[in-house]
Chains A and B, each alone.
Chain A
């Protein structure tokens, strides 16, 4: 392991612990009654959750359930209508800039720049995140190695496969060793083989950096494979949370998380979503395909 991983960067401030109730361990993510309203539509409806450091947490729900909106609020891209949220103890509204320094985010849409090489994409991210100049090369190498992209580093991203693009985006999001990584539908549009490869990479990444991961997914199998805990969102409300095993047990005789999901929300996960969601998902899938 490169020695730069042990460098003495300032850890995330714990100054704000006092603002939180029962704060023996600062949760990686904490929300209280987080709500987002778009006109008449309640996209996120009073969500309160705690995610422990180093946990891999999955948000499940149909299109339009509010998963992406919740992630956008926590990554400071959208202000909440009401309620509060903290990331590593930092309040998302008042300390937005510090929150952004502590997190990595892979949006649902493709964010890698196809007109640049993989290396150039990573270099841009390293500069934006203030990775010191002499650490840039080792950090980029580390990210390329972890995501198995070393051979393609100097190829234009336009020529990458879907799985490679997704891995590059994750490499970009982890360059600065974020305490929390947000992955919005990390495997949407990938074929089953690429999906399983991605799961292996994410496990390895989590082990290596001990990052907290918050991911959204449509795929029950993905949640079972990766997540320590999951929450089910339905029309903006959190209807259940617990370990995948808990949820399955709670739904009674249900044999799978899929059935637990149907029992808890009364709907299939494929249902829901509006025109915009469909357009976006298809566009992402097409670019990855």
Chain B
């Protein structure tokens, strides 16, 4: 053993090696979370309750009212994509709490002192939120099928739905990380998390069309990324469903916002420990 074997720095040759290392770092963070879910999958089961209530209770009751102009779609068909987006949002928006918890434990310090790039660490968290979101998607598809909702299950559409869920979940988890970097304590975060989720949800097209909203709320809904996610999901998930803005536009908006928040979060992440 000589001291020259110090400092593991794999021979970095060119951009592809750098990219591979970046991918490995993203995966290191996400894989740790996936393994935790595997050790204790109860969380995934309990998370199925909320979409069940929204579709089974809220959806069924509202369908009787026939209060919203949902075009050619039955209300339950209209609602299913909204419930999927909402359940993925609720999983993601509390990611910041987990980050604060990891900071308090010392796990975050361990990540931050590694040579992994800050954006890889943030993307790893976003990806693990995406994995949780995908499990929500599987649950909502099953629920919707059981309730006789007319799903479009063409492999292409399902694949794009999964991509949308990955990006949407990642986006809101990253927003949550940014908030955690600002407020820094669990108590403050709990307050803000509550204040944030409801407006995101209600100021969107998740449970009613934008058309029924008053003008000021319509403006909010238009700048709410959740609206774009739901719009695309509505075009892809449901037989006969259509998106108002176009799936391509929706995806572009989501990817753009996602990239923006990851950049901001990567800059702020190290501040969490000071």
Residues of A within 8 A of B (CB): 1, 5-7, 9-12, 53-54, 75-78, 88, 97-98, 100-103, 105, 107-113, 115-116, 120, 123-125, 127-132, 156, 172, 175-179, 208-211
Given contacts A111-B109, A116-B35, contact A128 B7 (CB under 8 A): no
Closest A residue to B11 by CB, please name it.
A10
Question: Contact check: which of B7, B110, B117, B274 meets A78 at CB < 8 Å?
Answer: B274
Partner of A176, one of B1, B8, B28, B106: B8
Cα distance, A105 to B35, chains bound together (Å): 24
Looking at chain B, what size class is its interface with the partner chain? 35 or more
| Cross-interface CB contact of B31 among A53, A127, A211, cutoff 8 Å | A127
One of B1, B31, B35 near A208 (C-beta < 8 A)? B1
* Shortest distance between the CB of A170 and any CB in chain B (Å): 12
B4 surroundings in chain A (CB, below 8 A): 9, 11
Give A176 to B21 CA distance when docked, in angstroms: 14
B273 at the interface (CB under 8 A from A): yes
Q: Is the interface of A mostly helix, strand, loop or mixed?
A: loop
Distance of A210 Cα from B4 Cα, bound (Å): 10
Chain B, 27-61, CB within 8 A of any chain A CB: 27-29, 31-32, 35-36, 39-40
Chain B window 250-264, contacts with chain A (Cβ cutoff 8 Å), 1 for yes, 0 for no: 000000000000000
Name A120's contact: one of B9, B32, B105 (CB within 8 Å): B32
17 interchain pairs (CB within 8 A)? A1-B1, A9-B4, A9-B5, A54-B3, A76-B113, A97-B117, A103-B113, A108-B106, A109-B106, A116-B32, A116-B39, A124-B31, A125-B110, A128-B116, A156-B39, A176-B8, A178-B7
Contact A100 B2 (CB under 8 A): no
Q: Does B107 contact A129, Cβ atoms closer than 8 Å? A: no
A102 to chain B, nearest CB (A): 4
Looking at the assembled complex, report how far the CB atom of B269 sits from the nearest CB atom of chain A, in whole angstroms: 12
On B, residues with C-beta under 8 Å from A are 1-11, 21, 24-25, 27-29, 31-32, 35-36, 39-40, 104-107, 109-117, 270, 273-274
Count A/B pairs, Cβ under 8 Å. Answer: 137
Q: How far is the CA of A76 from the CA of B113 in the complex (A)?
A: 7
Query: With A78-B274, A177-B5 known to touch, is A129 a contact of B105 (CB < 8 Å)?
Result: no
Choose among B2, B8, B31, B39 the residue that contacts A130 (Cβ–Cβ < 8 A): B8
Could you say which residues of chain A place their CB within 8 Å of the CB of B29?
124, 128
List A contacts of B40 (CB < 8 A). Answer: 115
**Residue in contact with A115 in the complex, picked from B8, B10, B39, B113, CB distance below 8 Å:** B39
Contact of A10 with B24 in the complex, beta carbons under 8 Å? no
CA distance A60 to B3 in the complex (A): 27
Instruction: Tell whether A179 pairs with B107 under 8 Å between CB atoms, given A77-B270, A116-B36, A127-B25.
Output: no
How far, in Å, is B102 (CB) from chain A's closest CB? 8
A210 touches B7 (CB 8 A): no
Most B-side CB within 10 Å, residue of A76, A109, A131, A156: A109
Q: How far is the CB of B233 from chain A (nearest CB, A)?
A: 31
Pair B105/A101 contact, Cβ less than 8 Å: no
Asked whether, in the complex, the Cβ of A111 is within 8 Å of the Cβ of B105, the reply is yes
User: Are A12 and B25 in touch, CB under 8 angstroms?
Assistant: no
